[in-house]
Chains A and B, each alone.
Chain A
Amino acid sequence: MSDQSPIRTARRTVLREERIGDAAFCLFCGYACLEALTLVSRKWLEANGISQSRLDRLVQEHHIIGYAHDPDLTMTLCLNCHKEITEGLAREGVSMRPEKNLRMLIALVFRASAVLFERLASSYRKWARLLENQDEL
C-alpha cells in the first residue's frame, strides 16, 4: 500500500500502540491489524445496542471516494476491511473534506480508486491462492 505521508502514519501507529498496545488483537475473531482495531469494551458494545448475534456479522457501507465527494458511490464491507481501506485512503492523502479544485478532485478520485483496486488485487490473489491450494488438495 502506497503511503504519501509516512510521518503521519508513523504518528498514528505510535499513538495506536500507546492506546491499545503493540500486540493487541480482536477478542472476537483474533484479528490483529492495529489499524482496524478500536478499543471498546463489551459493555460499550452492549450499551450501544449490538447484540451477541450481530457482533459476528457487522457490516458497514464504505464510501469509495469519500462521502463528501460522492455519497452514493459505496460498497459494503465488514468492519475490519472498512477500517483498513479507510486507513489506506488516509495514507494515500485522500482528504475527506470537499475538494473544490476539479483537477485535484480528479486526482483524488484516481488515488481513492487506486487504493480500492490495490485492496481488490490483494483480495483476488488471496482467493486465487485459496483455489489453487484446493486443487492441490
Chain B
Amino acid sequence: MSAPSRASGWGLRSAALIYLAVLLLIPVAAVFWRTFEHGISEPLDAVTSPDGMHAFWLTILCVGIAVPLNTAFGVLTALVLVRQDFRGKAALNAAIDLPFAISPVVIGLALFLVYAPRDSWFGGWLTDNGIEVIFSAPGMVLATIFVSLPFVVREVMPVLQEIGTDQEEAAETLGASPWQTFRKVTLPAIRWGLAYGVVLATARALGEFGAVSVVSGHRNGETETLPIFVQRQFDNFNAAGAYAAGLVLAILALTVLFSMNLLQRRSARAVDVGDDDEGAPTTPSVFVPQPIEKEA
C-alpha cells in the first residue's frame, strides 16, 4: 500500500472510531461506571426487588413470545414475498415496513384503539369474555410483536432472492419433500440472514419503550417491563436503580449478540476444516486439472 493511501486509511479509520466512541461507547461505558459508582449493594437491591424481578421476567416473556413468532412468520412472509406472485404483493411488501415508519407511541395508541376495554373495535367483546389486553401483559406482548416484526423479513428476503430456487428444485428432484427441502436446503442457506434478523428483532423487543408504555398503564410491579422500570426509577431520582436495570438490559442484548457471533464463528470453522483437508493449500474456484481424458 502506498504512503498516501495508508495515511488516508488511518484518517478514515480514526474518524470511524472517534464517531463510534463519542456516540456509542462512551455513553454505554458511563452506564457501567455510574451503576457501580457507590458499590454493588444499591444496584443489586434495585434489580432484585420484587418490582425489578417482575419487570425482568415480563421483559423475557414479551421477547420470548414476540421473537419466535416474528421469526416463524418472518421466514414464511419472506418466502411468500420472494417466491410467489399475487395481486397486492407490493402493498404487503410496503406494509411490512409500517413499524419502521410509525412512531412507537402511535403504534401504542393504535393498539389502544383496537383493544381498549371501552370505545374500541374488539375491546368490548374481549372484556365480556374476561380477556384483558390493554393495561395488561397481552397488550404489551402485542406491542412488542408489532415493533419487532420487520427485522427477520427484511434480513431474510435478500438472501432468498440471492440463492434462487435452483438448490430447492435440485432437492426436490432428489426426492425431498417440501418440508425436507426447507429444513435441509433453504434454512441452512438463509441461516446468517435469519440469525442477524433474530438479533435485531431481539434487541428491538428488549428495548422497546414507547409502544409498550402506552398500552401498559404503568401499574408498578404488574405491567412494567425493564425499560419502563428504568424510566420510573429515573423519575423517582433512584439513579442507581435506573442504571442497574439499564445494565441488565444491555447485558441481555449483548448476550444474544455474542451467542449469535459464536455460532457463526463455529460454523465458519467447520468450513475451514474442509479447506485444510490433508494440509493441501487450496484456492477456491480455480480449476484443478483432472484426468478427465482417462477412461471412466
Check if A and B associate: no
Chain B interface residues toward A at CB < 8 A: none
